[in-house]
Amino acid sequence: MPLDSYRRKRHFEKTPEPAGAPQSADEQESGVSGGDLGGAGRGDGLLYIIQKHAARRLHYDFRLELDGVLLSWAVPKGPSFDPHDRHLAVRVEDHPLEYGAFEGIIPKGEYGAGTVELWDRGTWEPEADAHTGLGKGDLKFILHGEKLKGSWALVRMKSRPGEEDKENWLLIKHRDEYAVNGDGQAVLRDRPRSIASGRTLEEITVDGPSSVWHSDQPATEQTEVRPAEEFQLDPSRVTGARKALKMPRFVKPQLATLADRAPAGAQWLHEIKFDGYRALSTIEKGSARIYSRNEKDWTGRYQALADQLAGLPVESAMVDGEVVVQSPDGTTSFQELQSVAEAGGYKGEGRLLYYVFDLLYLNGYELLGAAIEDRKMLLKRLLSRGAKSGRIMYSDDISGDGAVVFEQACRLGLEGVVSKRVGSLYRPGMRGADWQKVKCWHEQEFVVGGFTDPAGGRTGFGALLLGSFEEGDLRYVGKVGTGFNEESLLQLGKRLFHLEIETSPFLEQPPHTKTAHWVKPELVAEVAFSEWTRAGRLRHPSFKGLREDKPATEVIMESENAVHGVKLTHPERIFWPLPHISKRDLVGHYESVAEWMLPYVLDRPVSMVRCPDGIADAPATVGQGGAKDRACFFHKHAGSDFPGPLRRIPVEESRGSGTYLTITEAGSLTALAQMGVLEIHVWGSTWPDIEHPDMLVFDLDPDSTVEWPALADGARLMRDVLGALGLESFVKTTGGKGLHVVAPITPGEDWEGVRRFCKSVAETFVSHAPDRYTANMSKAKRGGKIYVDYVRNGRGATSIAPYSTRATQNATVAVPLRWNELRRGLRPDTYTVGNLQNRMRRLKGDPWEDYFEVGPAQTITAAMKEALGTV
């Protein structure tokens, strides 16, 4: 019997572990368990769990459901997201499925005595036949856990002589979108708590009997076990949540960028796009308020929705969603929503609903800095605990291939999809690349600037004359005469009559409208259409309704893939093939780091590594002249082809004046991404005073034989050398092989003076350990040493910008660190576009938060130069 070994080792009258329900012959054959999972919730997949087990030694028990039992391995070091880590996994006896809900204390003297925490749980799926993989000792599978995700493998090792009865395996993470380079076990450190109770091992141990599972009671009667629901609504357990003194009355909603196709890849969540009114709602002390996207109080209009929101079991919360009227076929009708006259009432066969898709505040915690998937998890749990609120609906998401989700949405007659990047934060008022919307047909908002007379037996008016604002001018885009019903013709006709003016509000006279009536450009119409004509007019337009949640002055031409006013061409182009990162993803990266990055790059002359077609499968080649036959090339002087908000400045050079770019705002980063800039390098001075540097940069470039601890020690030594001179310094990874130590200074010395000073610092540094360091540029003399590159402090020299990507195979990023982060397991190429957001969510503040306070107090002085000889 599969559980004989498990049962022989335990005395179930003493241990709280479940014995496992007996299986019938049919169940044994089919692999279906007759036991109770105790609320473990397998869903439609095979159960996967990890239990953190403090026995004689702390280890992690890794379990996979197969054939009605949990195959089990003990992993001493625990799992790692780094594919370089190959952690021992010792095969142990199979466990009953009921063990998937076990958390508690195994008494002293019993097998496995110690505290057990349910650290992770979810489902798994084999990538090939599981039985064949087990037999061959090569089991490949995908995990869908709350903490562990993606593709993994268990590989059996050959037994040592005399240990043939032991099965030693290796647990290995495959390289995919969830993999990280370095610090792969950060998840163990950053998410130590139980996914069932929210407690740590220590808290479970202290709780004593209250946390012990009683194996002689069914799961539904485990009343002394702390219910998981208490944790489910605890926002303090969510990474990125922070205590808020007071919930604000309103937060500007984050907006989605129009895209031409739904993004692909597992790093995206796809939601249904609704045809309704965006609405943010607050719940506090049993009362709810509903606001439009431009902060109009619509509580009275949707009182029935507010009443049900107020009934949710929560102290305080702010939710984001869409108010719709849903028809019996599941589609939503914007025009029918407009005609709901009574607050919370019905109209025709439609039904007033509020689909909520985001949670911004909960019970005294702000969640704007939490990942989208964590915010949605808390929101779903909140709604599931509430009273029967038939009008408040959770807007679910689908992960996976966006194209398939979009195709299905269009087939069902829906508006389209909104795709949200996994791990993204909530950015009030921003329209960036983290949220993208794709519509099943063209649909846009336009300003009503006039109307024509009705013809035949029509009442009210004939057609609406439409436009959109461009640089303050209302430009004509066409007219719409279909999509109206009798009621909308009459009601809208009355409003148009009261808005009539004598002169046209359009910049140019619309064609064939000599007898048109002009109106104040105040009404906003939602219009569906098939396409744009070459003349910039609407083809086959159809009226959908008036928007009352957006002022006419905000209606500008909405173009696909425009971010910060920069139109992205070929946003799907893959820049990094191996991690499958596109131009759109690069824009999203800069959207997510702009707030942190901009202070360190604004107004500095920029040099670039451009890869317009992305990097090749082989390591990128960087030339100096922009040779067309190279995948990537170095670019200093900007041509007129660079779009967007980039300032051009003249810089005197040996061959005359050259034009450089400087970054002025977040849109500058988008413009650089649009032009295939994969590396941003900056001068050590800012415009207009570019002749006097304001920072010193020491690049520690190790030989390939130098280990990470030696490199970290070198950075600390440089910090100490600079500190002895009175200069406080900061450290960052380069995204390549080395580290940068940076000291901000007040501009004073010219470039030559700074270069000489930095040369003296480097030579002093090398003198401490000439067997480990060199300041000689010759590569032949760097063997086994760390090259201290001070030449970056010369005029025209540059260093990689903080948070810039690199043209490397893994899309690495240069990342500022705190000094105490130079720990074992980190590498200069640890952080990538794919995993940086995990770090950003964990940070409490800028790792270089004192940088701009330190700089003004630091000046290169004569005394400092003299002190170099005594350091």
pLDDT, tens only, 305-314: 999 999 998 9
Same domain, 271 and 183: no
Decide if pLDDT at 496 tops 70. yes
Question: Is the residue at 503 inside a domain?
Answer: yes
In angstroms, the Cα distances linking 22 to 19, 25, 677 are 9, 10, 63
Which residue among 197, 232, 267 closes a domain? 232
CATH number of the domain enclosing 712: 3.90.920.10
Q: Give the model confidence (pLDDT) of 33-52 as tens digits.
A: 334 443 333 445 789 999 99
Residues 488 and 612 in one domain: no
Cα–Cα distance, 364 to 253 (Å, whole number): 19
Question: How much is the average pLDDT of 114-120?
Answer: 90
Mean pLDDT of 381-386: 79
Question: Which one from 273, 376, 439, 636 is the annotated catalytic residue?
Answer: 273
The pLDDT assigned to 310 comes to 93
Distance separating alpha carbons of residues 634 and 614, to the nearest angstrom = 14
Q: Give the mean pLDDT of 230-243.
A: 76
* pTM for the whole structure: 0.52
Q: Are strands 392-394 and 149-156 parallel, antiparallel or unpaired?
A: unpaired
| 478 within some domain | yes
For residue 201, give both structure tokens.
């091992």
> b/e map of 677-705 (b: 16 or more CB within 10 Å)?
bbbbbbbbbbbeebebbbbbbbbbbbeee
- Output the pLDDT for position 758: 95
Q: Both 608 and 747 in a single domain?
A: no
Query: Is there a contact between 578 and 809 (Cβ–Cβ < 8 Å)?
Result: yes
The answer to whether residue 686 is domain-embedded is: no
* Nearest to 437, CA basis, from 560, 295, 608: 560
Going 197 to 200 to 206 to 212, the CA torsion angle's sign is positive
Q: What are the DSSP calls for 91-135, one per residue?
A: EEEEEEGGGGG--EEEPTTSTT-EEEEEEEEEEEEESS-HHHHHH
Predicted pLDDT at 33? 39
Question: Would the pLDDT of 73 be above 90?
Answer: yes
User: What SS3 state is found at 640?
Assistant: coil
What strand order describes the sheet that includes 268-272?
255-258, 431-439, 416-421, 268-272, 397-399
User: Higher model confidence: residue 500 or residue 471?
Assistant: 500
Mean per-residue pLDDT over the chain, rounded: 84
Q: Is 273 a catalytic residue?
A: yes
Range of the domain at 655: 567-583+602-672
Residue 785: pLDDT over 80: yes
pLDDT at residue 718 is higher than 90 = yes
Q: State the Cα–Cα distance between residues 672 and 739, nearest whole angstrom.
A: 24
Residue 833's DSSP bridge partners are: none
Helix (H) or strand (E) holding 861: none
- Looking at the fold, whether 478 and 399 belong to one and the same domain comes out as no
In a domain, 76, yes or no: yes
Q: Dump pLDDT digits (tens) for 170-218.
A: 999 998 878 887 778 888 887 888 887 777 887 777 655 444 444 344 4
pLDDT at residue 339 above 80?
Answer: no
Question: One-letter amino acid identity for 381?
Answer: R
Per-position DSSP letters for 396-416, written without gaps between them = -EEES-HHHHHHHHHHTT--E
622 plus 710 within the same structural domain:
no
Residue corresponding to tokens 């010219």: 750
The reply to whether 83 and 190 lie within a common domain is yes
Three-class secondary structure of residue 420 per DSSP: strand
Mean predicted confidence (pLDDT) in 261-282: 87
- My answer on whether 456 and 415 are in the same domain is no
Q: Which of 22-26, 258-262, 580-584 has the lowest mean pLDDT?
A: 22-26
- Residue 57 binned pLDDT confidence (cut-offs 50, 70, 90): confident
At 683, the pLDDT band (50, 70, 90 cuts) reads very high
Domain end call among 200, 232, 264? 232
Query: Is the Cβ–Cβ distance between 684 and 695 less than 8 Å?
Result: yes
Compute the distance between CA of residue 387 and CA of residue 379 in angstroms, rounded to an integer: 14
Comparison of pLDDT for 335 and 692, the residue scoring more = 692
Give the model's pLDDT for residue 488: 85
What distance in Å separates the CA atoms of residue 802 and residue 739, rounded to the nearest whole number?
Answer: 12
Distance between first and last Cα of the chain: 73
Query: What's residue 164's pLDDT?
Result: 67
Q: Report the distance separating Cα 219 and Cα 21, nearest Å.
A: 12
pLDDT of 609 higher than 90: yes
Q: CB 772: neighbour CB atoms within 10 A?
A: 16
Which pLDDT score, from 0 to 100, does residue 27 have?
A: 41
pLDDT of residue 388: 53
pLDDT band for position 694 (cuts 50, 70, 90): very high
Residue at token pair 């019970």: 363
CATH code, 502: 2.40.50.140
Does 321 score more than 60 pLDDT? yes
* pLDDT-based confidence at residue 630 (cuts at 50, 70, 90): very low
Of 439, 470, 503, the residue that ends a domain is 439
25-53 CB burial, b ≥16 within 10 A, e <16:
eeebeeeebebebbebebeeebbbbbbbb
In this structure, is residue 301 part of a structural domain? yes
Indicate whether 559 pLDDT > 90.
no
Is residue 185, in this structure, part of any structural domain at all?
A: yes
The better pLDDT of the pair 23, 300 is held by 300
As a residue count, the chain comes to 871
Say what the pLDDT of residue 824 is.
Answer: 72
Q: Is 427 domain-assigned?
A: yes
| Spatial separation of the C-alpha atoms in residues 52 and 30, rounded to whole Å | 30
- Cis status, amide bond into 551, omega within 30 of 0: no
pLDDT, mean of residues 791-816: 95
The answer to whether residues 129 and 162 belong to one domain is: yes
Q: pLDDT at residue 338 above 80?
A: no
Q: Which residues of 464-484 are buried (b: 16+ CB within 10 A; e: fewer)?
A: bbbbbbeeeebbbbbbbbebb
Rounded Cα gap, residues 430 and 281, in angstroms = 19
What pLDDT was estimated at residue 432? 73
Evaluate if residue 332 carries a pLDDT over 60: yes
pLDDT tens, residue by residue, 3-31 = 777 777 777 766 777 776 654 444 444 44
Q: Do 551 and 649 reside in the same domain of the chain?
A: no
Q: Helices in 147-292 by DSSP H: which ranges?
A: 186-190, 201-207, 229-232
Q: Is the pLDDT of residue 597 over 70?
A: yes
Same domain, residue pair 774 and 842: yes
Total domain count, the chain: 5
Q: In a 10 Å sphere around its CB, with 0-12 CB exposed, 13-18 middle and 19+ buried, how is residue 293 labelled?
A: middle
What is the tens place of the pLDDT at every residue in 753-767?
A: 999 999 999 999 999
**Could you give the CA distance from residue 319 to residue 357 in angstroms, rounded to a whole number?**
8
pLDDT for the residue numbered 399 = 75
List CB contacts of 332: < 8 A, sequence separation 6 or more: 274, 275, 276, 324, 325, 326, 415
* CATH number, residue 415: 3.30.470.30
The rounded percent of the chain whose pLDDT value lies above 70 is 88
Rounded to an integer, the average pLDDT of 340-347 is 45
Which range is least confidently modeled, 2-16, 543-557, 710-724?
Answer: 2-16
Residues 380 and 357: their CA atoms lie apart, in Å, by 9
> Strand (E) positions, 127-254?
138-145, 149-156, 168-173, 242-243
Let me know if residue 223 belongs to a domain.
yes
C-alpha–C-alpha distance, residues 115 and 173, integer Å: 27
Rounded-to-integer distance, Cα 378 and Cα 607, Å = 44
Any idea which residue has 């337009």 for tokens? 541
Q: Are residues 387 and 399 in the same domain?
A: yes
Is there a single domain that holds both residue 547 and residue 573?
no
